[in-house]
Amino acid sequence: MKKVIIGLAVLLVVAALGAAAFWYLMEKRLTEYVAAPFGSDAAKTVEIPPGTNPKGVATLLAQGQVVRDADLFYAYLKRDKLGPKLKAGEYEFKGALTPTEVAELIMSGKVKQYRFTVPEGLRVDEILPIVAESDLKLDLKKLQALAASPKFVRSTGVPADVFEGFLFPDTYSFPRGATAAAVLQKMAARTLEEVKRAPRKAGVELDTLQAVTLASIVEKETGAVEERPRISCVFHNRLRLKMKLQTDPTVIYAMMLLKGVYSKNITKADLTTEHPYNTYTMKGLPPGPIASPGEAAIRAALSPIDCNDLFFVSQNNGTHIFCPDLKCHEAAVEKWQVKYFKKKKADEGGSAEP
The answer for 221, left when phi > 0, alpha when psi is -120 to 50, beta otherwise, is alpha
What is the rounded (10 degree) CA torsion for 155, 158, 160, 166?
-130
Is 269 found in the same domain as 216? Answer: yes
Cα 168-186-253 angle, rounded to 5 deg: 35
pLDDT at 14: 47
Would the CA dihedral through 289, 291, 292, 296 be positive or negative?
negative
Q: What is the pTM of this model?
A: 0.83
Q: Which of 169, 195, 221 is the last residue of a domain?
A: 195
| Summary mean pLDDT of the chain | 90
CA dist 76 and 233 (Å) reads: 66
* Burial call 67-88: b when 16+ CB within 10 Å, e when fewer: bebbebbbbbbeeeebeeebee
Q: What is the model's pLDDT at position 7?
A: 54
Residues 184 and 222 in one domain: no
**280-318 pLDDT per residue, tens:** 999 999 999 999 999 999 999 999 999 999 999 988 888
Last residue of a domain, one of 195, 222, 242: 195
Nearest to 146 by CA among 137, 133, 134, 132: 132
Q: Does residue 16 lie within any of the structural domains?
A: no
Confidence at 210, pLDDT banded by 50, 70, 90: very high
Give the domain extent around 59.
30-108
Q: Has residue 21 been placed in a domain?
A: no
Q: Count of domains in the chain?
A: 3
- What is the band of 87 on the pLDDT scale with cuts at 50, 70, 90? very high
Query: Does residue 287 contact residue 277 with C-beta atoms inside 8 Å?
Result: yes
pLDDT of residue 40: 87
Q: Cα–Cα distance between 239 and 340 in angstroms, integer?
A: 30
- What pLDDT is attached to residue 317? 86
In a domain, 246, yes or no: yes
The predicted-structure confidence for 334-353, as pLDDT tens digits, reads as follows 888 888 777 777 777 654 44
Please say which residue of 195, 214, 242 terminates a domain. 195
Return the sign of the alpha-carbon dihedral for residues 230, 196, 186, 161. Answer: negative
First to last CA, the chain: 127
Q: Do residues 261 and 282 both lie within one domain?
A: yes
Contact 298, 215 (CB under 8 A): yes
Rounded to whole angstroms, how far apart are CA atoms 329 and 63?
71
